[in-house]
Structure 1
Amino acid sequence: MKLTFNINYDTVFGEEVLLNIVETDSKGRKKTSQFRMNNRDGKHWWYELNRKEATLNTSLDYYYSVDCDWADSRHEWLTETHRLELSAVKGREYTVYDHWADVPEDSYLYSSAFTECVNRRPLPSIRPSAYDKTVRLIVRAPQLRTFEQLAVVGKPKSMGAWDVFKALPMYEHNYNEWIVDLNVETLDGEVLEFKFAALNTADKQHPLWETGMNREIHLPEIKNGEVVVYELSQAFFDICNRKLAGTLVPVFSLRSKTSYGIGDFGDLKKMIDWVAVTHQRVLQVLPINDTTTTHTWTDSYPYSCISIFALHPQYADLRQLPPLKDGKKSNDFEALRQELNALKQIDYERVNDTKQKYLHEIYQQEGKEMLKSKAFKQFFADSEQWLVPYAQYCYLRDKYGKADFSTWPDHQVWNEKERKQLSTPSSKEYKEVEFFYFVQFVLNQQMEAVHAYAREKGVILKGDIPIGVNRYGCDVWMEPKYFNLNGQAGAPPDDFSVNGQNWGFPTYNWDEMVKDGCKWWVRRFQNMNKYFDAYRIDHVLGFFRIWEIPSDAVHGLLGQFAPSLGMSREEIEGYGLHFLEDQFTKPFISDWIIDRVFHERAAEVKQRFLNHTHDDIYELKPEFSTQRKVEAAFEGKTSDADIWLRDGLYALISNVLFVRDRKDPNKFHPRISAQFDFTYEALYDSDKAVFNRIYNDYYYRRNNQFWYREAMKKLPKLVQATRMLVCAEDLGMVPDCVPWVMNNLKILSLELQSMPKDPHVRFGYLGSNPYRSVCTISSHDMPTLRQWWDEDFERTQAYYNSMLYRGGAAPHPLPGWLARDIVGRHLMSPSMLCILSVQDWLAIDEKLRLADQNAERINIPANPKHYWRYRMHVSIEDLMQNTDFRENVTELVCQSGRE
């Protein structure tokens, strides 16, 4: 069988177009074969391929790329590649005319969120055609809805003679891509004139014609046994963009009448029912990965995962497991379940301890048989790469009583040689870790079932991918080459944390990750694909640059963006600032600063913590020279006076004008927010003006192109690794290059009216939201709508008058009718997705919502040791039975044109 591929692509000298054939084996592994194409004029490229092994009813997936010696190669959109069906019975020769496919503007319609949930249509088997001479048309029509089928109608009688009700039906052989084979003998003349139409499969009425002029193809001479394939430009229809509504709630916050003191995967199914019955389409959750390092409440932070693959045991739905045969134990566990489930907030330690004990009981009772099952063997085969190290890590963590593997007496790093023993059921090592295999198998089965259930209900499950991982977690232990352990990831100062945020995560060794094509991240995203059809990239700015804080710092003020282009002494002085290295890079401590910070305790501070150097200048004693040393010195001291003294010393240590580059000691970075500190205050006014110019150039202009290139090394591989809908949290100190990349890759942005992207306005205009965005009122890191309303009365008043267009004084606390108005306005925005927290949905009903609005808060970013324990105060069953609230939500969703 001869296959000839043709594509027009304008190249310049040195560029070549390559044909890439992608083949998938029985285990889902993909192999790509490359072929250099021929050309006559640098524009028309072709390649002739002979496939002796090609058989009927098979298909060929392929894509084109451009290679050159002097620049990065580029390739087509990889989420949906070209597909050639080898289904023509008499086809011995295929001639294909393709066109280059970049990421389409409506790429979201190809995501599994739409193809598997919103527009769910099964892909039919292609019917073989038996024509002697065949013309095949291939076209993409992503706008079609579930009840519509594409058809082609044209001038020839065999194509309906322009009668749309006699049009030829087409077959969706790939997501949103339709195909039809035409018998050349029945076509009239050398010019084929036609158009596409969308037919309603339910009533066969109200056909919808594609927009634009009729299409024409000038047919070549076609021989017997030849199939000529034309891939055509997309068919467009007058169909409005889809807008969807949804709810955000952490899994741990769910409450049902049968849960175990914390939300679980069974409760997630119930919440899907509520979302579906209120005509919403999206249910968003926070990360569900295992975070267990200490077995205490400090593990409640869901963004500090120990494994990017393993699910948290706390989410196991114990109701789905076989019942305990021991009646007394069963009754004891049930009594404890009722006690824990009645608590207003999560008791993280008791819940997890109880669930671990229950899982051990089931493991002892049922584990042997469950681990012999075909389902477990398949799960182990699919997950072995990460599951085996994870299980050994958990065993060693519990054996040695700590997660800090650098302190373990042995196994301080994963040893690949031990994999075989840990994978052999008869070995002692396997028996030691078998329980962890069992738990992950149970969790995987339950979460995959939730995912399937959501798809059946037409609900998009949206997950969350944290930017960081725990520095003492399994991922770092297993593959330390991917991490920098001498720094800490965080965020620069913002409205939520004036000292910045220090998450404590290690930063990534991107050089090492990019070297192997970001395999670690690709595996991570593909694993998420098992459970979700959309995801939120937490802190997407981290893919451009991360805020890296020295390991000896507590706050985030001494951080620097990594990577970033540091400034040399000469460059700084070129702006006109005389560079005093010691004064600018070391804590500037003088008498007036000490008096301003410590007041009546100034003399004590000088004596205990400082050494006098010269004149009125001091330096910190060596034992207090870093924030970590100060933290250690004040450990266990919790009085207000001690905390005030400690925080004052922290402030002295961060009182610098520049921080030294961590890789090159001869480069420097302006310290973030230095204008609010004493070292800036001490400058002459003329020097302040120069520093401000340096500061603005550095943070808002200097690194833009550099960071753009950094992001484009990573993000394209990741967003095209799966068909999940990609959303990103792009809040904070956002450089100009971020929207460039997000628009290029068609990633949905996050839009909050209270945090507008436009620096010239106080509140965002909802009508200005881009379609490709997620609109919300509050996130898990923010106060809820009701809390925000009472935080700052002046701001609220301005919002009430200028955004809600209401006169008079704003009412406090926020009444339900006004919360409903605010929710309704957000739902009416142009954003594709409007996802509101469950607390903000409940705010519209004064009879149902929580009396204490401050108890609704999920996280306080300024507190790195916050206890994540918020739980819905009303059960999902009661929500389902509350007709007034259910109809209220449904009415808001439907009135806004969302579905």
Structure 2
Amino acid sequence: MANFIRFKVNYFTRLGQELYVSGSTEPLGNWDESKATKLTYCDNGDWETLIQFPASNNKVDYKYFVMDTNGEKIWESGSNRTFNLNDLNSNYIHEFRDTYQSPTSAENTYLNSSFFREVLFGRENPTQYSLIKQTQADKVIIHFQVKSTYVPPNHSIYIVGSNTQLGNWRTDRAVKLSDESYPIWKVDLEFSKDQLPFSYKYIIADKIKSVVHWEYGNDRWFTASATHASEYSSTTNEDRDFFFNDGEFKDSQLLRSAGVAVPIFSLRSKQGLGIGEFNDLHQLVDWSHQSGLHMIQILPINDTTVYYTWRDSYPYSSVSVYALHPIYIHIDSITKDPKILAQVNEHREKLNKLTTVDYEAVMNLKSKLLREIYSKEKASLDGNKEFLQFVKDSEDWIKAYALYSVLRDTYKSGDFDQWPVYSSITPEDIEKESKPNSKYYDDMRYYYFVQFHLHNQLLAASKYASAKRIGLKGDLPIGVNRVSVDAWVSPHLFRMNMSTGAPPDAFADDGQNWGFPTYNWEVMKKDGYAWWRSRLGQMSKYFHAFRIDHILGFFRIWEIPTTCVTGLLGKFNPSLPLWRSELQNNGLWDIDRLTQPYIRYHTLRELFGEYADSVATKFLVEYSSNCFNMKPEFATERLIEKNLNEEDAMYKSGLFKLVQNVSLLADAEDENRFYPRIEITKTSNFNELSDDIKTILHRLYISYYYERQEELWAQIALQRLPLIKGCTKMLVCGEDLGMVPKCVEPVLNDLGILGLRIQRMPSDSNKDFYHPNEYSYLTVNTTSSHDMSTLRGWWEEDRARSQVFYNKILGMFGDAPYFCEPYVSEAVITQHLHSQSMISIFPIQDWFGISSEYGSRDPKEEKINEPSNPMHYWRYRMHINLETLVNDHDFSKNIQRLILSSNRNLD
């Protein structure tokens, strides 16, 4: 016999739009959009259609999509809807009353993350769902279903309504729904005809229904549909089996939580070895738990080994987006060898006493000890099933990483272009060298061994955090090292002749040049962005949330030629250029004057003073009276850096300024495309133009940077960011600081991606500071970041500015204290905690600032990074042991008091 199903969904279309249903069986078109069934508009936003299905035992998936007026098909968000034909009684028409799944709803964006669904609201011992099958003609079965993540573990969802079956609105008689398919809640109820129609609502309540939270808005209603059965001779009964997909629990609650940010390398414990380790996260979790915090944010933890010196301390320069850094391993956990443990103890006290990380000493020691452990353990690895399974599960990346590491060790450099063998590599090469008969095999297995233990230690810490309802938040760097495994294995995925960076901002006057190759997005698109999907899949093994470093790069990247050292001669990619014809139509004909360094004798006098003549002789060519060009060997920043001898190093900054003294940048790939140089008004190339030309050029500058790109960048982000969200269940947060286009915030809001708010860095240039009460819900707020001075450090840097902050933002009278006293730190943190931001997460240094004891350290020692210095040594360490923190219950209670008073407690 056949099954008749009426699909009914409420959706308010725009004029000309139509609604379709498509699915996994022939009556639904087998997911062929051209064979989808069009729904008929009824009234009040309701669309419906009746479809006949052959009787079968098949599971059916389906979804709705909107056909736009231009023919574009816009699919609803969320998971596929599912039913089983075997569960349906063919004697009846079955009506599916669905709620259209909005792509911008909370349940389909930020709540659809492991941070919420596994960490904060993970459920144990779910209530089993029992399907009731329609059998009695005088009864009506309704299958209720509602979606809600935000239900505390000791609470459930209940349904209550206007008839006896639903308790006559008495909450003590409300019917509990099953959480077996959490966050979907289900219950099947049978109603007699005299109970129809009825109104109802869902509530969240504890086990004894003493605490009840009602969903907001109007009551939900059930009214039976008019029968359409006469169209089919197979049945004459009216609808009696209803499937109510009631969408989301209507909730006005906005969950708000708090956390701590600290690099792993900065953790200090008695069991450490001069640096923080993955195992130290257990104690950090304990302290966070007793302090009422629910998130721990760390910096990138991937292997960065290229130079074998402290330069490898830079955590954003990964040589593999998969491999973890060996420096974070806890030696004691992987060996019982007394001789090795004796060496650990011999060095532990000395290294742990250091104020800062001695990267080279720690790395050299751990590498030595790991080699010794491996030599003793390697014979037993073939019998270690867990190890073998790890290698098998990781073979897509670990073989290439291990071979790269062995060659890097062999040739004492990660620069594969300089290796005498395998300067380029193929999958076949990697597979060949992974065989037992390869001369590299044993050393490669050493790296398998190290990664295996790192994986186990980090995974154990992650699970421990989750069990304490604390999410780990990782960090996704915007780029990878130019000599990384990823660039070696897949150079086609990168634009190796370009570098990523940032235009000038509060961090760096000359912009930033991070040195990473930019992504070749068009090539990545061809295989469905497999590299990104794999990369994020690896992260999601350990993290419940992640920060996208420089999320603006997914809208457009500041792309700098590899001939540059600074970030001043970059341009946005993609961007709409200034065309040669456009320049000419605006009266700009002398393109060479605008694109070539403008060097006149008076320019040299301004930059070099009494050394102007010497500079002209050594580095320049005079092509006309008092007019100069750079000599070819000094024509770019990179050539200046390479060819300048020590004696002339004093001229470097000035020579850079000469090269940078242009108004337009010529496109290297198209002679008809040009781009305004950032901060054009600071160049004499621009300022010595005639006033009318300056006016025209400045108008084009403003158009390029602040007007003409917005739609393009929004479209680019809407191609890339849904990919990022779609291949992971981690909560996605974006670092959207710097030169932020207007399109960024609405795009992030629509996708449910959290933006970052730092009080001292408002995106509005007319503001000195944000006030936290301005922040919207989909934000992470913080007092400072790893690229900035701490709150206490900033307070002492600019007395005038901290005075304004003290009076204007904190609302305090009189003179600001010279030092950022604990009451000031607490006032600042309290403001942030009381904001609407979903997450307030503060560096551990700023949490220390609320304590007179812990906040006594010189704040200059607590700054993690200096962005303007590409050679910065990342070595900050906490001055307090984790053991001390865990045992300092007064400090934890003080933090907990702030959390409770701001309603950020989740317990």
Asked whether the two chains share a fold, i.e. TM above 0.5, the reply is: yes
- Residue 824 of structure 2: aligned partner: 818
Pick closer, same or farther for the CA change 1:427–1:496 going to 2, 3 Å.
Answer: closer
Is 2:632 the counterpart of 1:622?
Answer: yes
What displacement does 1:618 show? 0.3
Q: 1:303 aligns with which of 300, 303, 316?
A: 316
- Three-state SS of the structure 2 residue aligned to 1:188 is helix
- Three-state SS of the structure 1 residue aligned to 2:685 is helix
The answer (yes or no) to whether the contact 1:87–1:128 under 8 Å persists in 2 is no
- Residue 551 of structure 2: aligned partner: 540
Is 2:724 the counterpart of 1:696?
Answer: no
Pick closer, same or farther for the CA change 1:567–1:877 going to 2, 3 Å.
Answer: same
- Residue 191 of structure 1: aligned partner: 197
Distance in 1, Cα, partners of 2:624 & 2:544: 64
Q: 1:207 aligns with which of 212, 222, 235?
A: 212
What displacement does 1:534 show? 0.9
- Three-state SS of the structure 1 residue aligned to 2:189 is strand
Matches within 5 A, 1:525-536: 525-536=536-547
- Three-state SS of the structure 1 residue aligned to 2:339 is helix
Distance in 2, Cα, partners of 1:702 & 1:280: 43
- Residue 229 of structure 1: aligned partner: 243
Is 2:245 the counterpart of 1:266?
Answer: no
The answer (yes or no) to whether the contact 1:5–1:98 under 8 Å persists in 2 is no
For residues 137-170 of structure 1, give each alpha carbon's deviation from its aligned partner in whole angstroms, at most 9, with x where no partner exists: 1112334322221112234433334333222211
What displacement does 1:384 show? 1.7
What displacement does 1:231 show? 1.0
- Residue 25 of structure 1: aligned partner: none
Pick closer, same or farther for the CA change 1:841–1:71 going to 2, 3 Å.
Answer: farther
- Three-state SS of the structure 2 residue aligned to 1:549 is strand
Distance in 1, Cα, partners of 2:66 & 2:307: 50
Pick closer, same or farther for the CA change 1:6–1:519 going to 2, 3 Å.
Answer: farther
Distance in 1, Cα, partners of 2:98 & 2:50: 10
- Residue 754 of structure 1: aligned partner: 760
What displacement does 1:207 show? 3.0
- Three-state SS of the structure 1 residue aligned to 2:675 is strand
The answer (yes or no) to whether the contact 2:19–2:39 under 8 Å persists in 1 is no
Q: Name whichever of 776-785 and 435-444 sits farther off.
A: 435-444
Matches within 5 A, 1:775-814: 775-814=781-820
Aligned residues: 875
- Residue 573 of structure 2: aligned partner: 562
Distance in 1, Cα, partners of 2:841 & 2:825: 15
Is 2:550 the counterpart of 1:553?
Answer: no
- Residue 102 of structure 1: aligned partner: 102
Matches within 5 A, 1:461-480: 461-480=472-491
- Residue 289 of structure 1: aligned partner: 302
- Residue 129 of structure 1: aligned partner: 132
Pick closer, same or farther for the CA change 1:3–1:120 going to 2, 3 Å.
Answer: farther
Q: Name whichever of 147-156 and 789-798 sits farther off.
A: 147-156
Is 2:544 the counterpart of 1:519?
Answer: no
Distance in 1, Cα, partners of 2:816 & 2:644: 45
For residues 21-66 of structure 1, give each alpha carbon's deviation from its aligned partner in whole angstroms, at most 9, with x where no partner exists: 59xxxxxxxxx96563212648646666658454xxxx76654445
- Three-state SS of the structure 2 residue aligned to 1:504 is coil
Pick closer, same or farther for the CA change 1:338–1:76 going to 2, 3 Å.
Answer: farther
What displacement does 1:109 show? 2.6
- Three-state SS of the structure 2 residue aligned to 1:702 is coil
Q: 1:827 aligns with which of 821, 828, 833?
A: 833
For residues 690-710 of structure 1, give each alpha carbon's deviation from its aligned partner in whole angstroms, at most 9, with x where no partner exists: 222111111000111011111
Matches within 5 A, 1:682-761: 682-761=688-767
- Residue 587 of structure 1: aligned partner: 597
The answer (yes or no) to whether the contact 2:332–2:341 under 8 Å persists in 1 is no
Distance in 2, Cα, partners of 1:83 & 1:827: 41
Is 2:426 the counterpart of 1:433?
Answer: no
For residues 410-433 of structure 1, give each alpha carbon's deviation from its aligned partner in whole angstroms, at most 9, with x where no partner exists: 323332224544565676654341
Distance in 2, Cα, partners of 1:898 & 1:610: 63
TM-score by length of 2: 0.91
Pick closer, same or farther for the CA change 1:303–1:81 going to 2, 3 Å.
Answer: farther
The answer (yes or no) to whether the contact 1:558–1:654 under 8 Å persists in 2 is yes
Q: Report the residue type matching 1:102 in the other structure.
A: S
For residues 745-799 of structure 1, give each alpha carbon's deviation from its aligned partner in whole angstroms, at most 9, with x where no partner exists: 0111111111112333211121111111111110000111111111112111111
Pick closer, same or farther for the CA change 1:197–1:883 going to 2, 3 Å.
Answer: closer
Q: Name whichever of 5-14 and 144-153 sits farther off.
A: 5-14
Matches within 5 A, 1:209-358: 209-220=214-225, 227-237=241-251, 240-324=253-337, 327-358=338-369
Q: 1:661 aligns with which of 646, 667, 670?
A: 667
Matches within 5 A, 1:35-114: 36-39=35-38, 41=40, 44=48, 52=56, 54=58, 62-65=62-65, 73-78=73-78, 80-84=79-83, 88=87, 95-106=95-106, 107-114=109-116
Q: Name whichever of 107-116 and 186-195 sits farther off.
A: 186-195
Q: Report the residue type matching 1:856 in the other structure.
A: E
Is 2:167 the counterpart of 1:154?
Answer: no
For residues 256-307 of structure 1, give each alpha carbon's deviation from its aligned partner in whole angstroms, at most 9, with x where no partner exists: 0110111111111111111111111111001111111122111111111111
What displacement does 1:92 show? 9.3
Q: 2:174 aligns with which of 167, 187, 204?
A: 167
Pick closer, same or farther for the CA change 1:287–1:48 going to 2, 3 Å.
Answer: farther
Is 2:398 the counterpart of 1:387?
Answer: yes
What displacement does 1:387 show? 1.7
Pick closer, same or farther for the CA change 1:524–1:50 going to 2, 3 Å.
Answer: farther
What displacement does 1:246 show? 0.7
Pick closer, same or farther for the CA change 1:321–1:804 going to 2, 3 Å.
Answer: same
Q: Name whichever of 705-714 and 878-887 sits farther off.
A: 878-887
Distance in 2, Cα, partners of 1:86 & 1:121: 29
- Three-state SS of the structure 1 residue aligned to 2:422 is coil
Distance in 2, Cα, partners of 1:249 & 1:776: 13
Distance in 1, Cα, partners of 2:189 & 2:281: 48
For residues 190-209 of structure 1, give each alpha carbon's deviation from its aligned partner in whole angstroms, at most 9, with x where no partner exists: 534322222212x3323333
For residues 212-241 of structure 1, give each alpha carbon's deviation from its aligned partner in whole angstroms, at most 9, with x where no partner exists: 333222335696998532211322246x32
Pick closer, same or farther for the CA change 1:610–1:63 going to 2, 3 Å.
Answer: same
For residues 584-617 of structure 1, give each alpha carbon's deviation from its aligned partner in whole angstroms, at most 9, with x where no partner exists: 1011100010010000110100111110011221
- Residue 642 of structure 2: aligned partner: 632
Distance in 1, Cα, partners of 2:887 & 2:575: 55
Distance in 2, Cα, partners of 1:460 & 1:372: 35
- Residue 26 of structure 1: aligned partner: none
Q: 1:398 aligns with which of 409, 416, 421?
A: 409
The answer (yes or no) to whether the contact 1:371–1:438 under 8 Å persists in 2 is no
Q: Report the residue type matching 2:452 in the other structure.
A: F
For residues 538-589 of structure 1, give each alpha carbon's deviation from its aligned partner in whole angstroms, at most 9, with x where no partner exists: 10000011001111111111111011111112212434x5232111101110
The answer (yes or no) to whether the contact 1:7–1:100 under 8 Å persists in 2 is no
Distance in 2, Cα, partners of 1:448 & 1:647: 47
Q: Report the residue type matching 1:853 in the other structure.
A: P
Distance in 2, Cα, partners of 1:225 & 1:681: 79
Structure 1 stretches lacking a partner, 5+ long: 23-31
Distance in 2, Cα, partners of 1:593 & 1:552: 23
The answer (yes or no) to whether the contact 1:781–1:860 under 8 Å persists in 2 is yes
Distance in 2, Cα, partners of 1:338 & 1:502: 39
- Three-state SS of the structure 2 residue aligned to 1:208 is strand
Distance in 1, Cα, partners of 2:50 & 2:797: 65
TM-score by length of 1: 0.92
Distance in 1, Cα, partners of 2:678 & 2:4: 60
Distance in 2, Cα, partners of 1:422 & 1:15: 57
Pick closer, same or farther for the CA change 1:20–1:402 going to 2, 3 Å.
Answer: farther
Between the aligned residues of both structures, percent identity stands at 36
Q: Report the residue type matching 1:585 in the other structure.
A: T
Distance in 1, Cα, partners of 2:589 & 2:102: 48
